[in-house]
A and B are shown apart, each in its own frame.
Chain A
Amino acid sequence: MDDLLSEFLTETNESLQLLDTELVKLEQNPNSPALLDNIFRVMHTIKGTCGFLDLPRLESVAHAGENVLGKIREGELTVNATRVSLILECLDRIRYILATLEETEAEPEGQDTDLIPRLENLVEVAEGAEPVEDAAALDEQEPDWGSALAESEEAEPELGGPESGEPEPDWQEAARAPQPGEPGGIDAPAVSQSLPAAARSREVDVEQASQCPPCAPHAAPSGGAQEGAFHPNAQEAPRESQVASQSIRVSLDLLENLMTTVSELVLNRNQLLQILRNQKETDFAAPLQRLNHVVSELQEGVMKTRMQPIGNAWSKLPRIVRDLSQELNKKIDLRMRGEETELDRQVLDLIKDPLTHMVRNSADHGLETPAERLAAGKPEVGTISVHAYHEGGHIIIEIGDDGRGLNVEKIKAKAISNGLTTESEIGNLSEQQILQFVFKAGFSTADQVTAVSGRGVGMDVVRSNIEQIGGTIELASRMMEGTKFTVKIPLTLAIVSALIVECGGERFAIPQLSVVELVRAKGGSENAIEWIKDTPVLRLRDRLLPLVNLRELLRLEPPEDDGVTALLEDAKGAAKGEGGAAKAADGDPDHADTKGFIVVSQVGTYTFGIIVDQVFDTEEIVVKPVAKILRNIPLFSGNTILGDGRVVMILDPNGVASSSGDITLAESEDAVSDKQRQSAGDEERVAMLIFRAVSKAPKAVPLALVARLEEIDMKDVEFSNGQRVVQYRGHLTPLIQMEGAADLPEEGKRPVLVFTDRERSMGLVVDEIVDIVEAPMNIELAGERSGLLGSAVIAERATDIIDAGHYLTQAFADWFHAEDRHADKTSTGKRVLLIDDSPFFRNLLAPLLGVAGYDVTPVDSADRALELCDAGESFDVIVSDIEMPGMSGYELAETLRNKSRWSRTPLIALSSHASPKDMERGRAAGFRDYVAKFDRETLLDTLHDMLHDDPNETRGAA
């Protein structure tokens, strides 16, 4: 292709992208002269160059568009959506012609009689200065297109004529136009989109002048000479020529070649360094170190030339969103942040489409119509935000909307009907896991999805595209609040950091990006491999990690001295017989210790372990594609040459994961990050105080129950009324020990947990305070012994949760009346709302009721309870305190009686005043029953009776 033409095509395509963005901006700020000037100038440049290259069809289209823009600039036409649409249509036509030009080097056949007359009509409207709304005008004039067509054909020869006279006045004007904030330097040949259009179009022209002599006659008058002649501000001219000389166009092929060469150099450098490491004293050391630095700098520099701002990938988004908002009748505000974030152009090309797709999805399915939004109490204009930033060698791109979110129920139904899962399985899946179904192939056709979840058109493709480049995609969605996709991609594909491992005598590289952690598997230690039938698994903290034996997967021969096999055999033995455990533990410790590592890897949301023999260090490797005949092995993503010169295969964690089982659905809740886990709500974390008393086994009590931690000297302990007491702040505080504890010594300090409620406090003497941890308090084994609520796993250890209430009654006989005896534990799943302003009681009663099988939601005020009511929660029974700051229990009861939603939910009053008069008042207010605050047994009995005698009146929100 003609150099001149190809240059023109590149430039014009860039200009068009810019125009798209600018036009949308113009639509939002119709009165910005700076914007208009930019747009006009770009369009004019296109037209001018067309004339020079003899492209009549393109020129006539650009000319018509330019005329309209000219009228708008002169204030004879106002900006509105229809007009902008028409200009955009004009741009699309230019694009179409350019595309054909690129393919055939000739303009496509045909006329633009459908477009040009409409543009000309607009101009006529302006010239006629008739204040006619142009949409109407267009409609009226539609029948006249025939005549307009004739006119345009007449006009054609004129247009084809020399343009030379015309650009001059325009360029004068352009040169005089104010250009605020023009940057002084441009660093990349592919000019960033964020640069002001003025600087850009200028650069394009000057560049042409300096680079392609044939166009100098044209460009010189318009760009260089004129500027000097007409520009009153002489300072600006040299600065601009500087800009031009600072950037050159370099072909991509050249850059790619350069990159490959540098890659080779990096490999050679690595090899030299490897040799250097083995040679203690050599004269090469110093020069090699310098070489090392230079190569690193060179590598960095060359990588930079490949970097492009991510804004290039999403410069089309404003246009797409604008078109969609018109098409769908939605109001959409597109917010883009971090356009300047740079990444490798190879990566950029690959994420362009997935990005566009996700934004389109958000606009199409995520956001509601303005009416729906208003009805939901949201602003009429929906927001789609795209945000890119760097984070530790990766680019994070977040695409979010504030739309309706994904409908979990519909996804469930769809997943079941598609056969992706079954009813019984889906019950065990967390919401996060269910959301993962949108990445499944079955969710990909538009029809189904719009009907089902309103989301997920081709999300499987988006996901696989992103995973192809070693990236990950995560999804978070909340009903009515919106959806957010988080994409994490590597900065570059060419050089990656990889972990070198060995298995079956062969070395492999695993991209560091997907490696989460390394675990050394030891027989008999905490990190032993265990077996479920023939499937190896590893207990890793609080989860079960599926393992993949790389040797089996790759069908490698076991080497003679085989650590892993021995290790696995040991583990098998341990699982099978009692003797095996002992053998594994003390049999051959060296054997198990020296070998066997687990590379914990993450693919998407799926975490699994790869069993390898050895782990070496990490190396920067240059990824090279494997030979064609090996491409069908999914386990390898490429190969590379290591520092010592040997070739290793690069394992593809995606391939490893999918060859080892069906993982497209993230089966693991491990994927749900801790943050999400916390926000999930059903596993609320409670701060627990862990201590030791009586035995070595850890014990815990909710920290909120503990008022203070004290160290009390046993010398200060006195006896009163047969009980140990200590004087503390003028009060006598009874001291209690846990049952079965050894007698307290006469002297020495001991830690004491002080429980306080109102004016009373008591101390529980313990042996040692261990820690405070945040953990979900899932009491798994309800305690039969008095003083224990049960056991829970806290900080990976079985921990007894002590029942503070039990000890309180020991200190004050009247603190609670009854002995601790748990009532019916079978009535699981009933939801109880507990309202009490005292954190002490909330913390005391919530676990108590929890153990009894109720699902307790504690809140601290009547107002909070009403909020829950409004939020659509429903409960089987409400237990409320009477004396509370703000709204009292009586008032709450009355309010609830009048609310439709909870009017039928039984209410139980909880009060320290249990006189018959109080009870009467409570009944009048609507409480079904009245229980003394300390009478836990009665409370449990009452709850039990109420929920079982009255099956018809359980759920209030029926």
Chain B
Amino acid sequence: MSEGRSLTKFSGGQLVAATQGTQDYVTFMIAKQLFGIPVLQVQDVLAGGNITCIPLAPKEVAGVLNLRGRIVTAIDVRLRLGLASRKRSDDDMSIVVEQGGELYSLRVDEVGEVLNLDPTAFGRNPPTLDPKFREFSAGIYRLKERLLVVLDVDRLLDYKGTQAA
């Protein structure tokens, strides 16, 4: 089968914590940095998948794939963040998000657990942050051992202003 293996199906608000004010994030790693995306934005998590390349597309667009009859555009988040690409393998993991009625799968290095985070630990981006990161980061969570960058999916997928030739 060519469809990606669906690891987790996040359905609705099932996983949203009962505690008020806190928010759940799907975490993932890219280049040893921890990132998070609000769980409500996440449709699915995929491993592998048969990706069709799109010639002439921006280089961050890894291609398109079929997710249960819907066409999903795959984005290589590493390239989008200005990092070097990793060699593609069958175990590449992707997080599927919906934006503007279209599905995108964000290819990341590794998908981690879902964390329930306290908003008091949330802060703005340090102004000295790398411009690419600053552009796509909605803010930083200070966890005990490490920092988590909240990825701004809308900005990540907004190609109007930033698209490089």
Stretch from A61-69, A205-213, A428-436, A643-651 at the B interface: A643-651
Instruction: Point out the residue from A507, A630, A640, A645 that lies within 8 Å of B57, measured CB to CB.
Output: A630
Instruction: Point out the residue from A506, A555, A628, A640 that lies within 8 Å of B100, measured CB to CB.
Output: A628
A264: chain B residues within 8 A (beta carbon): 69
Q: Are A554 and B50 in contact (CB under 8 A)?
A: no
Instruction: Point out the residue from A267, A506, A633 that lies within 8 Å of B53, measured CB to CB.
Output: A506
B57: chain A residues within 8 A (beta carbon): 629-630, 633
Q: Nearest Cβ distance between residue A324 and chain B, in whole angstroms? A: 42
A101 to B71, CA, bound (A): 40
Q: Nearest Cβ distance between residue A407 and chain B, in whole angstroms? A: 42
Q: Are B66 and A641 in contact (CB under 8 A)?
A: yes
A628 to B3, CA, bound (A): 22
Determine if B94 is an interface residue (Cβ-Cβ < 8 Å).
no
Determine if A247 is an interface residue (Cβ-Cβ < 8 Å).
no
Instruction: Point out the residue from B52, B66, B157 that lies within 8 Å of A629, measured CB to CB.
Output: B157
Q: Are A627 and B66 in contact (CB under 8 A)?
A: no
Q: Are A646 and B55 in contact (CB under 8 A)?
A: no
A342 to B64, CA, bound (A): 35
A628 to B57, CA, bound (A): 11
Q: Are A646 and B52 in contact (CB under 8 A)?
A: yes
Chain B: which residue is nearest A263 at the CB level? B69
A359 to B65, CA, bound (A): 45
Q: Are B66 and A646 in contact (CB under 8 A)?
A: yes
Q: Are B53 and A268 in contact (CB under 8 A)?
A: no
Q: Are A629 and B73 in contact (CB under 8 A)?
A: yes
A507: chain B residues within 8 A (beta carbon): 52
Chain B: which residue is nearest A504 at the CB level? B55
Instruction: Point out the residue from A554, A624, A644, A646 that lies within 8 Å of B56, measured CB to CB.
Output: A554
B104: chain A residues within 8 A (beta carbon): 627
Given A554-B55, A628-B100, A629-B58, A641-B71 contact (CB < 8 Å): yes
Q: Nearest Cβ distance between residue A99 and chain B, in whole angstroms? A: 29
B65: chain A residues within 8 A (beta carbon): 647
Q: Are A645 and B55 in contact (CB under 8 A)?
A: no
Q: Are B55 and A630 in contact (CB under 8 A)?
A: no
Determine if A556 is an interface residue (Cβ-Cβ < 8 Å).
yes
Determine if A635 is an interface residue (Cβ-Cβ < 8 Å).
yes
Q: Nearest Cβ distance between residue A745 and chain B, in whole angstroms? A: 66
Chain A 537-574, CB-CB to B under 8 Å as 1, else 0, gives 00000000000000000111000000000000000000
Given A628-B100, A629-B157, A647-B65, A506-B73 contact (CB < 8 Å): no
Chain A 229-266, CB-CB to B under 8 Å as 1, else 0, gives 00000000000000000000000000000000000100
Chain A: which residue is nearest B157 at the CB level? A629
Instruction: Point out the residue from A506, A628, A640, A641 that lies within 8 Å of B159, measured CB to CB.
Output: A628
Q: Nearest Cβ distance between residue B24 and chain A, in whole angstroms? A: 27
Determine if A614 is an interface residue (Cβ-Cβ < 8 Å).
no
Determine if B1 is an interface residue (Cβ-Cβ < 8 Å).
yes
Chain A 611-630, CB-CB to B under 8 Å as 1, else 0, gives 00000000000001011111
Q: Are B56 and A555 in contact (CB under 8 A)?
A: yes
A200 to B64, CA, bound (A): 49
Given A627-B73, A630-B61, A641-B71, A648-B163 contact (CB < 8 Å): no
Q: Are A633 and B71 in contact (CB under 8 A)?
A: no
A646: chain B residues within 8 A (beta carbon): 2, 50, 52, 66
How many A-B pairs fall under 8 Å by CB?
Answer: 68
Q: Are B50 and A639 in contact (CB under 8 A)?
A: no
Q: Are B69 and A641 in contact (CB under 8 A)?
A: yes
Q: Which of A583-621 contact B (CB under 8 A)?
A: none
Q: Are A506 and B55 in contact (CB under 8 A)?
A: yes
Q: Are A647 and B52 in contact (CB under 8 A)?
A: yes
Q: Are B52 and A649 in contact (CB under 8 A)?
A: yes
A636 to B58, CA, bound (A): 14
Q: Nearest Cβ distance between residue B2 and chain A, in whole angstroms? A: 4
A504: chain B residues within 8 A (beta carbon): 55
Q: Are B71 and A644 in contact (CB under 8 A)?
A: no
A556 to B163, CA, bound (A): 21
Q: Nearest Cβ distance between residue A464 and chain B, in whole angstroms? A: 21
Determine if B29 is an interface residue (Cβ-Cβ < 8 Å).
no
Q: Which of the listed residues A264, A629, A641 has the most CB atoms from chain B within 10 Å of its own CB?
A: A629
Q: Nearest Cβ distance between residue B50 and chain A, in whole angstroms? A: 6
Q: Which of B119-165 contact A (CB under 8 A)?
A: 157, 159, 163
Q: Are B1 and A645 in contact (CB under 8 A)?
A: yes
B69: chain A residues within 8 A (beta carbon): 264, 267-268, 641
A531 to B159, CA, bound (A): 40
Q: Are B3 and A647 in contact (CB under 8 A)?
A: no
Given A506-B52, A628-B159, A647-B61 contact (CB < 8 Å): no
A640 to B55, CA, bound (A): 15
A641: chain B residues within 8 A (beta carbon): 66, 69, 71
Given A506-B53, A627-B102, A635-B56, A645-B163 contact (CB < 8 Å): no
A334 to B102, CA, bound (A): 46
Q: Nearest Cβ distance between residue B107 and chain A, in whole angstroms? A: 15
Given A628-B102, A629-B73, A647-B58 contact (CB < 8 Å): no
Q: Are B2 and A629 in contact (CB under 8 A)?
A: no
Instruction: Point out the residue from A267, A555, A639, A644 that lies within 8 Å of B2, measured CB to CB.
Output: A644
B58: chain A residues within 8 A (beta carbon): 629
Q: Are B55 and A555 in contact (CB under 8 A)?
A: yes
Q: Nearest Cβ distance between residue B160 and chain A, in whole angstroms? A: 9
Instruction: Point out the residue from A267, A636, A645 that lies within 8 Å of B3, measured CB to CB.
Output: A645
Q: Nearest Cβ distance between residue A273 and chain B, in whole angstroms? A: 15
Determine if B17 is an interface residue (Cβ-Cβ < 8 Å).
no
A554: chain B residues within 8 A (beta carbon): 55-56
A628 to B98, CA, bound (A): 12
Q: Nearest Cβ distance between residue B6 and chain A, in whole angstroms? A: 14
Determine if B54 is an interface residue (Cβ-Cβ < 8 Å).
yes
B61: chain A residues within 8 A (beta carbon): 629-630
Chain A: which residue is nearest B64 at the CB level? A647
A264 to B73, CA, bound (A): 18
Q: Nearest Cβ distance between residue A277 and chain B, in whole angstroms? A: 16
B64: chain A residues within 8 A (beta carbon): 626-627, 639, 647, 649
Chain B: which residue is nearest A627 at the CB level? B73
A268 to B104, CA, bound (A): 21
Given A628-B159, A629-B73, A641-B71, A647-B66 contact (CB < 8 Å): yes
Instruction: Point out the residue from B1, B3, B66, B73 that lies within 8 Å of A630, measured CB to CB.
Output: B73
A624 to B101, CA, bound (A): 13
Q: Are A647 and B71 in contact (CB under 8 A)?
A: yes
Q: Are A639 and B71 in contact (CB under 8 A)?
A: yes
Q: Which of B60-75 contact A (CB under 8 A)?
A: 61, 63-66, 69, 71, 73
Chain B 75-100, CB-CB to A under 8 Å as 1, else 0, gives 00000000000000000000000001
B163: chain A residues within 8 A (beta carbon): 629
A633: chain B residues within 8 A (beta carbon): 54, 56-57
B157: chain A residues within 8 A (beta carbon): 629
Residue pairs across A and B with Cβ atoms less than 8 A apart, 18 shown, are A264-B69, A268-B69, A506-B55, A627-B102, A627-B104, A629-B61, A630-B54, A633-B54, A633-B57, A641-B69, A641-B71, A645-B1, A645-B2, A646-B2, A646-B50, A647-B65, A649-B55, A649-B64
8 shortest interchain CB distances as A-B pairs:
A554-B55, A627-B73, A629-B159, A645-B2, A647-B64, A647-B52, A264-B69, A641-B66
Known: A554-B56, A627-B64, A645-B3. 16 other contacts (CB 8 A): A268-B69, A506-B52, A507-B52, A554-B55, A627-B73, A627-B102, A628-B100, A628-B102, A628-B159, A629-B157, A630-B73, A639-B71, A641-B66, A641-B69, A646-B2, A646-B52
Q: Which residues of A line the B interface, CB within 8 A?
A: 264, 267-268, 504, 506-507, 554-556, 624, 626-630, 633, 635-636, 639-641, 644-649
